[in-house]
């Protein structure tokens, strides 16, 4: 643990210098995202860093409404920033409201606040990815806050999107179904998808030539030969007219059904999505694409900073020594720790 503590302290110093936005996502619910968020907030406080923290979901409440279990509170240290609504603030004297947004959640105005003293807060989902990005950019520009920490939510890995985040921590462990080796495999798949190879600069340039694009397009010999406002999923026969070597870019998700449609073309093509959160295909379909000469690329990859494990879950526990050793062996190039043994 001493080695990883040093790695985290080094990481803390790195992320305070260049406006990093970091998301914490989980393979399942109750994998320890909030506990790890608190650990990051405490570590940043120790080096006198005052980050902004916000949530995609609802975090900081005493009770998990789905599992009916107690949840850890989110502890904000003096000088640190957060986004919430007034109806969730139990001790208004402990915070200072700095700005409000022209947007309401559950009938209450969304605001940016700074802690006057160490206090526990409850956070709320500000809204869509675009609005979250707008908030982050506005706050960073006006108040020069760095880093920004985003606490993810159940089945909302999309909020680890490259449109709003620079990198992620993935929370895994006993809450994920399966044996240790099966949990490791599921984690590997997510890491692989988030960090999958990016398309080349020529393709990126063509994609970015139309920033208003919504739907999908076909690129051939460096030029757009077809575009459609519908997504691949909405199209009946997106495979028609494809040539070997074509590249398809979609602004939406790549699902099993849309992937199978493209396989029907029997062409050696490439598919580009914005980032790994848009890959909604299962492993058999992904392997089938590869076997048939269909290559998958990202417009933007997302760095995975570390793997955070929780060996003790709500319904079961796993051997902590074996769990941690297996993950450290596989992810030796990044921060890997068990929440049950952090200092």
Q: What pLDDT score was predicted for residue 230? A: 84
Question: Residue 43 contacts by C-beta under 8 Å, 6 or more apart in sequence?
Answer: 8, 9, 12
Helix 283-291 vs helix 256-263: crossing angle, to nearest 10:
20
pTM: 0.87
What are residue 75's DSSP bridge partners?
120
In tens, the pLDDT along 183-220 reads: 999 999 999 999 999 999 999 999 988 766 778 899 99
Q: What pLDDT score was predicted for residue 78? A: 96
Question: Residue 234 contacts by C-beta under 8 Å, 6 or more apart in sequence?
Answer: none
Give the whole-angstrom CA distance, residue 233 versus residue 278: 13
Under DSSP, the state recorded for 99 is E
Q: What pLDDT score was predicted for residue 93? A: 85
In tens, the pLDDT along 228-241 reads: 888 887 777 766 78
Helix (H) or strand (E) holding 15: helix 2-15
Question: Which tokens go with 162?
Answer: 């490259």
Strands (E), 229-269: 247-250, 254-255
Q: What pLDDT score was predicted for residue 149? A: 94
Helix 33-46 vs helix 2-15: crossing angle, to nearest 10:
70
Residue with tokens 């074509």: 246
Spans of the chain, pLDDT less than 50: 1-4, 58-60, 154-156
Question: Which tokens go with 320?
Answer: 């902590």
Q: What pLDDT score was predicted for residue 343? A: 62
Q: Which of 317, 254, 334, 325 is nearest to 289 (CA)?
A: 254
């Amino acid at each position: 643990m001493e080695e990883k503590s040093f790695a985290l302290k080094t990481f803390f110093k790195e992320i305070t210098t260049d406006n990093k936005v970091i998301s914490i996502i989980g393979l399942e619910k109750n994998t320890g995202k909030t506990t790890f968020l608190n650990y990051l907030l405490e570590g940043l406080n120790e080096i006198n860093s005052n980050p902004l923290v916000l949530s995609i979901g609802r975090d900081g409440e005493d009770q998990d409404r789905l599992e009916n279990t107690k949840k850890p509170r989110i502890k904000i240290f003096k000088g640190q920033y957060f986004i919430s609504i007034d109806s969730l603030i139990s001790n208004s004297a402990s915070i200072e409201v700095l700005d409000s947004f022209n947007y309401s959640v559950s009938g209450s105005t969304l605001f940016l606040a700074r802690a006057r003293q160490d206090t526990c807060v409850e956070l709320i989902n500000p809204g869509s990815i675009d609005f979250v990005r707008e908030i982050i950019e506005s706050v960073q520009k006006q108040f020069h806050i760095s880093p920004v920490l985003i606490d993810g939510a159940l089945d909302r890995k999309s909020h680890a999107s490259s449109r709003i985040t620079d990198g992620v921590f993935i929370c895994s462990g006993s809450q994920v179904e399966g044996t240790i080796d099966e949990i490791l495999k599921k984690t590997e798949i997510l890491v692989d998808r988030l960090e999958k190879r990016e398309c080349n600069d020529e393709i990126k340039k063509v994609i970015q030539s139309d920033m208003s694009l919504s739907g999908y397009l076909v690129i051939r010999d460096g030029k757009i030969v077809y575009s459609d406002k519908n997504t691949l999923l909405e199209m009946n026969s997106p495979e028609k007219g494809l040539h070997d070597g074509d590249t398809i870019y979609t602004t939406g998700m790549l699902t099993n059904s849309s992937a199978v449609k493209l396989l029907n073309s029997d062409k050696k093509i490439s598919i580009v999505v914005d980032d790994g959160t848009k890959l909604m295909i299962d492993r058999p379909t992904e392997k089938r694409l590869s076997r048939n000469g269909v290559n998958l690329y990202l417009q933007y990859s997302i760095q995975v900073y570390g793997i955070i494990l929780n060996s003790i879950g709500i319904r079961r526990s796993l051997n902590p020594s074996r769990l941690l050793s297996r993950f450290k062996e596989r992810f030796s190039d990044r921060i890997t720790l068990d929440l049950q043994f952090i200092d």
